[in-house]
C-alpha cells in the first residue's frame, strides 16, 4: 500500500520523505490555510522533491471554473493530481481533465455508487473518507471494502485512496482490505512505529545493558 502524506507542511513532508515514507502528498483548502502559504508556491515546493502524485484541490463549484483552475494547478508540475469534489460538476471536470491526460483525485466520496461513477468518469484516484463516516456512526472501513469489490468486479483502474484516516487501526484495515493508497497526517504515520511492548522491551534491554557496565563505543 502506498503512503501519501496529508499535509501542506513542507518540513513534515521532508522528514518522512527522507525515510522513504512518502509515495505522494494530498492537500486541501483547510491544509493550505493551516500552512499559511500561497497554494501555488507551497505546492510547487512540494513537487520539487516529491516524485509521486501531489494532490492540489480546486475551489470553484461550477465545471467550467473547476476545469480552468485544474488546468492552472496542473501547470505547476507533471506530478500534480487535480483534486475535485464528488459532485456532478466535479465529475464533468474529472472527465475533461482525465481525457487531457491529467491525473484527477475525486474527493469527498461517501458511497460505493459515488466511487463507481467517479471511476467511469476517468478518476485516477477516488478518496473515500473513513473518519467522517465513523463520526456519524457509519462504518468507513466497510465503504473501502465495498469499493474494492466493485472495482475488482469490473476491472476499473481507479486507485482507492483511503482518506480521513485517524488511527493506526484504520491503516491496518485498509491494507488488509486492499486499498491502493492511504493518506494520513504526519503524526498518524509516525505513530505506526509505536507499540507498548516495544517500549517495554527496550526499557528492559537498557536496564540489563547498564548492569553489564559495558560500552560499544
Q: Which residues are catalytic?
A: 83
Question: Using CB atoms within 10 A of its CB, is residue 142 exposed (0-12), middle (13-18) or buried (19+)?
Answer: middle
Amino acid at each position: 500500500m502506498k503512503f501519501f502524506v496529508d499535509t501542506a507542511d513542507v518540513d513534515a513532508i521532508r522528514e518522512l520523505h527522507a525515510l522513504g515514507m512518502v509515495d505522494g502528498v494530498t492537500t486541501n483548502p483547510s491544509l493550505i490555510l493551516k500552512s499559511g502559504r500561497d497554494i501555488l508556491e507551497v505546492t510547487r515546493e512540494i513537487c520539487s522533491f516529491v516524485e509521486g502524485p501531489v494532490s492540489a484541490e480546486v475551489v470553484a463549484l461550477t465545471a467550467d471554473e473547476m476545469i480552468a483552475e485544474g488546468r492552472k494547478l496542473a501547470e505547476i508540475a507533471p506530478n500534480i493530481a487535480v483534486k475535485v469534489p464528488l459532485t456532478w460538476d466535479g465529475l464533468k471536470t474529472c472527465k475533461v481533465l482525465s481525457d487531457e491526460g491529467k491525473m484527477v483525485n475525486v474527493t469527498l466520496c461517501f458511497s460505493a455508487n459515488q466511487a463507481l461513477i467517479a471511476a467511469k468518469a476517468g478518476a485516477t484516484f477516488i478518496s473515500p473518507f473513513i473518519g467522517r463516516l465513523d463520526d456519524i456512526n457509519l462504518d468507513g472501513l466497510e465503504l473501502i471494502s465495498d469499493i474494492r469489490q466493485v472495482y475488482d468486479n469490473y476491472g476499473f483502474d481507479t486507485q482507492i485512496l483511503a482518506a480521513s484516516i485517524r488511527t493506526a487501526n484504520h491503516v491496518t484495515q485498509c491494507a488488509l482490505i486492499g486499498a491502493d493508497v492511504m493518506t494520513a497526517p504526519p503524526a498518524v504515520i509516525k505513530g505506526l512505529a509505536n507499540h507498548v511492548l516495544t517500549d517495554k522491551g527496550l526499557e528492559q534491554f537498557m536496564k540489563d545493558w547498564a548492569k553489564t557496565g559495558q560500552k560499544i563505543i
